Amino acid sequence: MEFSLSNLSSVLDNITCYEHVNIELLDKLISSSLLKESCSNPLLSYCNERIQLLKYKKIITDTVASVTYKKLKKYGRSNPLNGLGYFMISKRIRHTLSMMYYVDVDIENCQKNK
């Protein structure tokens, strides 16, 4: 069997999405001692959650973050630029910031079991 890769365009490439954020909770998180200071995510140019949230706050107007998705490599998924979007924020923080606006559904192992 022979396989080949194709570079397909993504409907998520270069789009801007708008995320509602609870600013009061964001400020409390930034001030808390519960945030991680390091991580193992190679897609982030920084791994300190406080720094990530401070940078995320800069893209928020009123209570809405303007998040641009970009395909960073020839193959693979589109990600929020600089890791600034709910998609790249840890589950526990994402849930806290968005619970007033969204239901966070995490799908685990979405491939068929053999």
pLDDT digits (tens, 9 = 90+) for 84-112: 999 888 888 999 999 999 987 767 766 66
The pLDDT of residue 57 is 96
DSSP per residue over 12-72, as a string? TTTEEEEEE--HHHHHHHHHSS-S-S----TT-S---HHHHHHHHHHTEETTEEEEEEEE-
When pLDDT is cut at 50, 70 and 90, the band that residue 46 belongs to is: low
* Structure-token pair, residue 79: 């990600």
Euclidean distance between CA atoms 102 and 95, whole angstroms: 9
